[in-house]
Amino acid sequence: MNIADLRKSYEKAELNENASHADPLKQFEHWLQEAIAAEVPEPNAMTLATVSSQLRPSTRVVLIKGCDARGIVWYTNYESQKGQELAGNPFAALQFHWVELERVVRIEGRVEKVSSEESDAYFHSRPLDSRIGAWASPQSQVIDGRTVLVTNAAKYAAQFMLQPPRPPHWGGFRLVPDRWEFWQGRKSRLHDRLRYTPDANGWLRERLAP
């Protein structure tokens, strides 16, 4: 089949101003819970876009680990490509794509590190193998082969046993949203798009043309 001929008609749901929350966080939490309830694959997966000092964008998939009025949280190696890019340009974009529900959420804003206490608490809640892995992987660096990772994991497992501390180069980021967009697929490509941006009363909700 010619890839240009692949098409899908979106007909599962609608999104309108009257039925959506005035607060984008509440709308997001509602959709996230519906994605979880629908058992879509990895409903917590989100694409993270950052921009380097050379103005080159890059994306990768990470997992949301928290959301509240302060923002959206994920955890990573601060020395990774995304960590270094955020250190130089602390703005990013997130995207959730729940294919089975024909929905997309886009979130943009400033990024900051979470507190050491938050990073410690989450790190110690992780499975032991994941905690060792945070030490074993020099994320985004070139390595000679998988043996490097296996050797590092064995070394740190022997060193820390059952109590690996949080690495100083590992922790959380929080995106503080200043723009949300909710997309619901509709028939004939006349999709529903609602954008939220800050205003004097909280959030301005506007419909965008698809």
Catalytic residue ranges? 189
> Is residue 174 within 8 Å of residue 118, measured between CB atoms?
no
User: In whole angstroms, what is the distance from residue 27 CA to residue 192 CA?
Assistant: 14
**179-182-188-189 Cα dihedral, nearest 10 degrees:** 30
Q: Where are the alpha helices (DSSP H) in the chain?
A: 24-37, 81-88, 116-123, 128-136, 146-160
**And the tokens for 41?**
């694959």
User: In whole angstroms, what is the distance from residue 93 CA to residue 109 CA?
Assistant: 7
User: In whole angstroms, what is the distance from residue 112 CA to residue 26 CA?
Assistant: 22
Mention every residue, 6+ apart, whose C-beta is less than 8 A from residue 8.
185
114 secondary structure, DSSP code: P
